[in-house]
Amino acid sequence: MRKLFLFTIAVAIGLVACDKKSEMLNNNTDSSVRSKAPVSNNIRYFNSYEELSEEIDRVNAMSFDDLVAYEAELDFNSFGKLADMAYAEVAQYQDEYENIEDVKGAIAQHSEYLQLIKDEQDEYLVATKLYRSGTKYIVNGERMYQVQDTLIKILENAIIEAHIEHYETLLKINEGNVGAYVENNPVGILITIFCLKCPFNSCTCNGHNPPSGSYIGKERTNYEEELIKVDGKYRYHKLIVKVKMDPVGGKNEKTLYIFDTRRKGITNGAYWAYGMDVFFDLSASFGKTSHPNGGGNLLATSSPVDRYGTARTSGCGLCWTTHKGNFLETNTSPPYHLEERNNVFVTTRGYARCYAHGVEIKVPFDYN
């Protein structure tokens, strides 16, 4: 198997060059990366959550080449961009990996950015880390961004918010130890735990139990797949559609429509990204429960969030179409789980479809 050194060397050179430029960054106050008082040079700074929301929409709508050019102008390296580069390096050999152990070995060389997961259908999926987060192209290498004097750190299983004075502490928190920080409840650091991969309340998140009571849905997922013969070989092709509420800090979260197109490796059994055009017409509406654990009645329903059109998934399989964040009222004391925030999905309607080698793959939505 070929060695996968090129990406590591390229990134190392790029980051060294970025460090050499860092002394000049404080003199430039025009960019949102360095305006006001960012706690670190290579961090995105935003004056408000509205400004953050607009930037999430902007970068998620870019092609990868446009994103690279845009970040070069900002003198910035997002975690998402670096993760996509690592994915491309590994994925180019996807049909040379003979089994899942070969895939694991390739991913291990980029373990900071890549992961092998089992999805909702118990299938192996090669994905970037933070692949479901709408802020993956906002966070820096430490997975942080700043809104005024608040730092927000995004993990696979948590969002962490703190005043800039806690910057050094946030640098130390990761997926492996966030549970310990939740139990110790550090003053001034708010940790919201995700438990979205777990069925209802049957799991723990890093040793921290979800609340009792009804599960409050923060994500809807549907998928369809087709077995298609291409060049004499059969492959499964899959379209995965997620509608989710993605917290971005404070009491704000964004509605994300995430389209993920995949195909299975010939011999290794893992699903890999496969760029396709996705046609969609989706709507979602939301409500609030009178009790943060979901035990109360539904209070109100918001106006539906409608999205329709065509999107092109990237070389990492994903594309987003987003909506300005919904304001959340939080009724519990920190630390709390995502499920304890009392915004909930009420209905999701519509469909998404794509065509792989002329074969339609259609994903319907009809959730009450």
Q: What is the pLDDT of residues 251-290, one digit of tens each?
A: 788 888 999 999 999 999 999 999 999 999 999 888 776 6
Residue 33 to residues 15, 37, 39, 78, 302, Cα–Cα distance (Å): 16, 10, 10, 11, 34
Residues 288 and 354 sit within 8 Å (Cβ to Cβ) = no
Angle at 319 between CA 155 and CA 151, to 5 degrees: 30
Pairing relationship of beta strands 189-193 and 336-337 according to DSSP bridges? parallel
- Using CA atoms, how far apart are residues 78 and 51, in angstroms rounded to an integer? 17
Residue 300 to residues 100, 285, 344, 345, 368, Cα–Cα distance (Å): 47, 10, 10, 11, 15
- Using CA atoms, how far apart are residues 37 and 18, in angstroms rounded to an integer? 19
Determine the residue type at 63. Answer: S
Residue 352 to residues 39, 221, 241, 246, 289, Cα–Cα distance (Å): 41, 12, 7, 20, 29
Angle at 364 between CA 243 and CA 237, to 5 degrees: 90
- The tens place of each residue's pLDDT in the chain, 368 residues long, gives 443 444 443 444 344 344 433 333 333 334 444 445 789 889 999 999 999 999 999 999 888 999 999 999 999 999 999 999 999 999 999 999 999 999 999 999 999 999 999 877 788 999 999 998 999 999 999 999 999 999 999 998 889 999 999 999 999 999 889 888 888 877 889 888 775 444 333 334 444 444 433 345 678 889 999 999 998 999 999 999 998 888 888 878 888 899 999 999 999 999 999 999 999 999 988 877 665 555 556 666 777 788 889 988 887 878 888 776 666 665 555 665 665 666 778 889 999 999 999 999 999 999 87
Cα-trace Rg, the chain: 21
